[in-house]
Amino acid sequence: MNFRFRFSWLILVVSAVLAAVVFPAKLPAEETIHVVQGGDTIYSLARTYGVNFQEILNLNGIDNAGRILVGQRIRIPGTISASSALPESQSMVDHRVTRGETLYGIARQYGVSMQTLLMANGLSERYTLKVGDLLHIPQTGSPGPVLSGPAPIVPPIETITGTEVRSTVSRTIDISVSWPILAREMAYMTGKLNGVVLLGERNEPVKSLTQGVVISAGPYRGFGKVTIIQVTGGYLYVYGGCESLSVREGDRVNPGTELGRLGMDALSEKPQLFFLVYRNNVSLDPAAAPRS
């Protein structure tokens, strides 16, 4: 090998190395997720990432650009979707959300984990399902075990506005009965919902009365933030009126677990907890419901 040939070969090798360093092969970009900070808006995110604000709304299933929360995870259009990170062997089936369904219940129904369901749809752990949402369910051909029992039906409190529970009858508080908060006053609802309204102190902890699993956790119109706990025996315990929540769907709770912090009711301008109990989707007197 003469000198000129060796020199030419060396130049080719060096050029190839430099090209690989300076102009690396373009790899698929990972999905960009923006965690909402104070002051963020859909419009400011669109400007920051150079995308159309409507595309952000569509990709994240947001129907109200003014309703995003600090800590919410927003998918940015133009990057690889979370579902593309799933194994290619996984096929998908579509599920259209109907009234009363929750992410937890749907995951149970199809025998997939909550995390898998969230990843496949690019949803945050605190996303609140809406009727008509289309979910993509990963199917591997050998689905995991489905949890025993049918998926619970969440009481349709989202169809009731706050003004429809203002008809109440005051009752004396039985101090021998434990309640989710340190109740100062109590009244029974007499409208479309059957339950109690408890007066407390703003920001005091709202505690679970039972063991169970969180099947719904998020905002409901007229009730602030609401947590629904599924309890063995066909019971559902509904805690509404929170300003913030400390649990999310799929969490297991025990008696005394903090579910959230009590907020101010917008209409009464008082810190009120709405507490309802169902068994097999029939409402019960919350004072007589099991505590365990």
CATH of the domain at 256: 2.70.70.10
- State how far Cα 272 lies from the chain centre: 23
Q: Do 63 and 100 have their domain in common?
A: no
Choice between 291 and 175, residue whose per-residue pLDDT is larger: 291
Same domain? For 255 and 180 the reply is: yes
Query: Predicted confidence band at 98 (pLDDT cuts at 50, 70, 90)?
Result: confident
For 28-54, letters b (16+ CB in 10 Å) and e give eeebeeeebeeebebeebbeebebebe
Domain's final residue, options 127, 151, 175: 151
Number of domains present in the structure of the chain: 3
Q: What is the pLDDT of residues 203-220, one digit of tens each?
A: 999 999 999 988 888 887
Q: What are 213's two structure tokens?
A: 């699993």
| 139: in domain | yes
In this structure, are 43 and 140 located in the same domain? no
Range of the domain at 73: 26-80
In a domain, 234, yes or no: yes
Is residue 186 domain-shared with residue 200, that is, in the same domain?
Answer: yes
Residue 217 vs residues 3, 40, 256: alpha-carbon distances, Å: 75, 23, 17
Taking all residues of the chain, what is their mean pLDDT, rounded to a whole number?
Answer: 76
Among 80, 100, 118, identify where a domain stops.
80
* Whether residue 196 has pLDDT greater than 60: yes
Residue 198 is classified by DSSP as E
Residue 138: give its domain's CATH number: 3.10.350.10
User: Do 194 and 127 belong together in one domain?
Assistant: no
**How high is the pLDDT of residue 181?**
96
Identify whether 6 is part of a domain. Answer: no
**Is 14 a domain residue?**
no
Domain for residue 18, yes or no? Answer: no
Split at pLDDT 50, 70, 90, the class of 241 is very high
The residues with which 188 forms a beta bridge, in sequence order, are 169, 196
∠ Cα 155 165 201 (to 5°): 100
Distance CA 185, CA 198 (A): 6
Q: Does an H or E element contain 277, and which?
A: strand 272-279
15 falls within a domain: no
Neighbours of 132 (CB within 10 A): 11
Same domain (yes/no): 161, 249: yes
**Do 166 and 228 belong together in one domain?**
yes
- Residue 31 lies inside a defined structural domain of this protein: yes
Identify whether residues 97 and 72 lie together within a single domain. Answer: no
What the block records as the tokens of 193 is 């919902």
Which among 34, 62, 80 is the end of a domain? 80
pLDDT reading at 191 higher than 80? no
Q: Is the pTM of this model over 0.85?
A: no
